[in-house]
Structure 1
Amino acid sequence: MTEDREHYYVKMRDGTSLPVFAYKSPYKTNATLILIHGITAEQHALQQLAKKLQPNVNVFIPVLRGYGEHEGRGDINYFGQYDHDLIDVAKSVNNQGYNRIFWAGHSMGCANLLRVLDKNLVTSEGFLFLSPFFHPSLKLYKYQGKQEKKQEDLYKLNLFKIISLASLMKIGIHRFMHSKVAIVPDEFKKGNSLHLSFRLLLSRFIEDAKQLPLSKANAPLLTLIGSNDEVTDASKLQAWWQTQSSHQCTIVPNEDHNTIVHCDETIKSITQWLKNSIRQSQEHTAN
């Protein structure tokens, strides 16, 4: 299929313009997915997913504040700014005539969606979690292994600095919240690294990991994770998920943290989940 992609900018409430990649279906469909990236912008993987879904779904991929090529790279202006940005992105998509909107996140993007769920920030037809990294305090993650060692030079987290800044914040000292605490690959400047601030990272996570909002979700949820995920232990995640939600959590064989995003099994699962969710919503409305 010939690629049909739009690249445009959405103006946020503070006047900043954020880039959005839109893959609109050539057919008449109102099914729409807003896809939130992880700790890096990971455009290659997410756009592969969008292309495969495009025949049946409209897919919008915003590049989050601090990650794109605009000013203020690696930082945001205040805690919680991502919440406001996602509301503004949703309004932009809705204003284009798309009102059956689902949300999807990959890795740390799922943490952003937990905030959306918890605060009831937007109306959503459903939430899709791919290789979720919900919160660093959950006992679900792997910190050893070949992949982790191989990527040591690409991803660096200053845990001592993060703990120190969190302690300062608890006693009301916010002077150093813009300090850089993580280094990740720069998606937009090959060979470079992007330094991320404390307030940027913290604004992606829910405040209290003990009060996760999954059980109170009214919309359909779907979690997909690869059996070979290098970041999260798939079996632990599935067992934990079953204590939090009655919705589906599927382990996809032979896929890892990134290949799960655009593998054939994922495309089939997402497409079927969207169809079922829309049908159930229509039946509920009819009744």
Structure 2
Amino acid sequence: MNNKFYWGIGVLFILLIIGATVFVLVKDRSEMRQLEIELEALQKWKEDRETPEVSKEDQKPPEVSKEEHPAHGHFHEDGTFHAGEHDDPIQPPSRDYTPTQIQIPDGITAPEVIKAWERLDYIANNIWEWGGVPSDRAVELIGILMPPPDGFSGPTGHRDGEETMDLLIELDLLGDPRAAEVIAKYMCDGIIGGRSIKSMLVEMGVPAVPYLVPYMLDETRSPLLRSRAIEVLGRIAEKHRKDLEGVVEHIIIPRLEAILSEEEPDYFEGEDAREALARLK
């Protein structure tokens, strides 16, 4: 009986020791976990202190002040903004030119013929009416090509017709009607010939006519060179007869008929006059 009692007391004592140990371990783990949580919270608080929170207002892009950048202003190449107009605004290409002088021949009294010459003068003074693109490069090329060089030398003084033709082609491609005077002179003065230069003038159309008519009428010029103007005028007149109004009926056609009425017209001038007249009759 006594032995059982002592064994019971012993077992109970052992259980108490085990329970106390378990209680201490569990309590220590709980405290350790609590300590870890507190350390994490402390670390987060420290980081938040070192990195201030950016508000939504601060995250918005800065607004451009109307006072800082007025409605009327400009930026310079360095990116700075300046109020008012630019000191050196970009200017559009100039359309300025000196019109060819149209002189009514002496002895003309018929009103319809005078009106035709006045129409020719109007065209000479209003070449932009038929379109075209003003070009600073065209002005530069005209300055290079005019006045034409003596003989067959190129614009830079070299005897190079290919160089001259390259410049004329570039001038033509710019679409500036002021090129008509230059191209007509190079063709009718015999500096450059061929189908290409004639086609340039035909494509220019009406603005080229005031520059070609004087060459057609110039009795002091070689018939061969006059024939170039006749051929081109015939082709332009066929395409733009309405715009030319009485120029075809009272200036071009009478000259063609006069050439063909000669007893022995020049071969080239006669052939071109005959072909042009066939286009216009």
Q: Same fold (TM over 0.5)?
A: no
Higher strand share: 1
Q: TM-score, normalised by structure 1?
A: 0.29
Considering only CA atoms, is the larger Rg found in Structure 1 or Structure 2? 2
Q: Which has the higher contact order (CA 8 A, sep 6+)?
A: 1
